[in-house]
Amino acid sequence: MKVDRRAFLGSAGAASLAAWGRSPLGQPPERNRLKLGLIGCGWWGTGLLKAAYQVGGVETVALCDVDSAHLDAVAQEVASLQEGRRPAAFKDYCELLALPELEAVIIATPPQWHALQFLEACRRQLHIYCEKPLSHDVREGQKMVEAADANPKVIQIGFQRRQSASVRQAAEFIRSGGAGNIVQVEAQIHYQAEIPDTTIQDPPPTLDWDAWCGPAPLLPYRPSIGHFAWRLEAEYGNGHLVDWGIHWIDAVRNVLQLRMPRQVQSAGGIRLLEGKITTPDTLNVSWDFGGLPVFWRHRIWGAAEYTPETSNGIFFFGDKATVFVDDRRWEVIPRERGARREVHEVPDEQDPRLLHVAEFLEAVQTGGGVSCPVREAFQSTTTVHLAMIAYRTQSVVRWHPVAQEIEDNPEAAKLLLRRYRSPWVHPAEAV
């Protein structure tokens, strides 16, 4: 596999250029292609696999899913890209990871599964592209960092906004002092959630619901917590901040080169979607990053915002200017009264997900670095988990950065680790 990153990353419209299986860089002979596996053949996992084909140089040798319909559909698509070679199909990820020819794995299952699958992939010393959030609880994340340290292979976590052109341009402006000293940050995503059917019913016949829930509690199935919709269920997705907001929190940390917050408080609740979801539909979080206040707000019901154009993005408030950034533009609002705003539209010509996958594949080939190593992902994931712990305990949560523990708050500290459902064993409790 040869990825000319500069040519690839620089080519306008790389995302739209290559349709499924048509690499802009050409395909080497089969024996030289990276032998890839995918665990979790749902919406995003399928998209990641497509991105890998767009980059080129990969051969999918195995797929894994607990829904046979997802497995079959993706196996068929993959076969059509590999001269008819159908990948091996598994329900049990351990069997996929044990394949001797496997070199790299994409993990795109719901978050309650990430830790166990990631740890097994590390034990097998595979290259890993794992989706966000890194973990479902903080103790899992700590074990994942340890395991990654012991795995010499490339590991990229799916915070692809680290590749986003608008975030990168805004970061350059802010880091070069364009906005002055940043004294406050506010991030938000407001939207109107549409909750699927909440009636308890049999799962689809192709889906092994017990295996899908895995180490998390086996809740009675209903579409509102099943495929794709699990995001707002506490036991699986853990809510809007952990699922989607985490991207902007990672971007804030990345742009300002922050590490961990020292303290967090949260207020909110389930105000309008009671009985339908189990995570807050209204949330306000305030972190203290060593004197820098960072706020998060979400409201997933009600009327549109007064300024809908800023309802999904981040404000960086500096003493010289305010910068707003979202996926497609960044704006500078100078402090001087009457000064004109600078609006930088960033055309969506380079898909950040494609760039993130390309960077991973290039690092596998060259031994180079990636934009989101595990420690970075751990810090962003833990930042939002601490906010959810503060919300659940209705208390101030303080984080000790060296001890990596919640300080002086035993009730909150208990929530650093969740109970696993038997027969699965939490990695922090394994003997």
Task: Name the residue whose CB lies closest to ligand NAD.
Answer: 42
Residues in region 237-256 near ligand NAD by CB under 6 A: 243
Among 3, 25, 41, 89, binds ligand NAD (CB under 6 A): 41
For ligand NAD, the closer CB: 108 or 171: 108
Nearest distance in Å: CB 73, ligand NAD? 10
The values of phi and psi at residue 97, to 5°, are -70, -20
How far from 134 is each of 1, 91, 107, 117, 357, CA to CA, in Å? 28, 22, 10, 11, 16
Task: Give the 3-state secondary structure of residue 123.
Answer: helix
The answer to whether residue 45 forms part of the interface with ligand NAD (CB under 6 A) is yes
How many residues comprise the chain? 431
Number of residues that bind ligand NAD (CB under 6 A): 28
The answer to whether residue 212 forms part of the interface with ligand NAD (CB under 6 A) is yes
Q: How far apart are CA 76 and CA 264, in angstroms?
A: 47
Q: Are 53 and 20 in contact (CB under 8 A)?
A: yes
The answer to whether residue 39 forms part of the interface with ligand NAD (CB under 6 A) is yes
For ligand NAD, the closer CB: 40 or 239: 40
- Phi-psi category of residue 367: left, alpha or beta, with phi > 0 → left and psi -120 to 50 → alpha: left
Nearest distance in Å: CB 349, ligand NAD? 18
The answer to whether residue 44 forms part of the interface with ligand NAD (CB under 6 A) is yes
What DSSP letter does each residue of 352-366 carry, written as one string? HHHHHHHHHHHHHHH
Give the pair of three-digit tokens for residue 290.
């060593």
The answer to whether residue 228 forms part of the interface with ligand NAD (CB under 6 A) is yes
Q: How many CB atoms lie within 10 A of CB 122?
A: 23
How far from 342 is each of 39, 184, 322, 333, 420, CA to CA, in Å? 44, 20, 11, 7, 51
For ligand NAD, the closer CB: 20 or 43: 43
Residues in region 97-156 near ligand NAD by CB under 6 A: 108-111, 113, 131-132
The answer to whether residue 158 forms part of the interface with ligand NAD (CB under 6 A) is yes
Q: Which stretch binds ligand NAD (CB under 6 A): 38-46, 79-87, 270-278, 285-293?
A: 38-46
For ligand NAD, the closer CB: 110 or 280: 110
The answer to whether residue 261 forms part of the interface with ligand NAD (CB under 6 A) is no
The answer to whether residue 59 forms part of the interface with ligand NAD (CB under 6 A) is no
Cα 332-335-336 angle, rounded to 5 deg: 115
Ranges of H-type helices in 300-397: 352-366, 374-393
Nearest distance in Å: CB 67, ligand NAD? 4
Give the pair of three-digit tokens for residue 315.
């404000």
The answer to whether residue 376 forms part of the interface with ligand NAD (CB under 6 A) is no
Q: Which stretch binds ligand NAD (CB under 6 A): 36-44, 118-126, 366-374, 419-427?
A: 36-44
Among 14, 52, 62, 67, binds ligand NAD (CB under 6 A): 67
Cα 47 off chain centre by: 14
Q: Which residues bind ligand NAD (CB under 6 A)?
A: 39-45, 64-67, 70, 93, 108-111, 113, 131-132, 158, 160, 211-212, 214, 227-228, 243
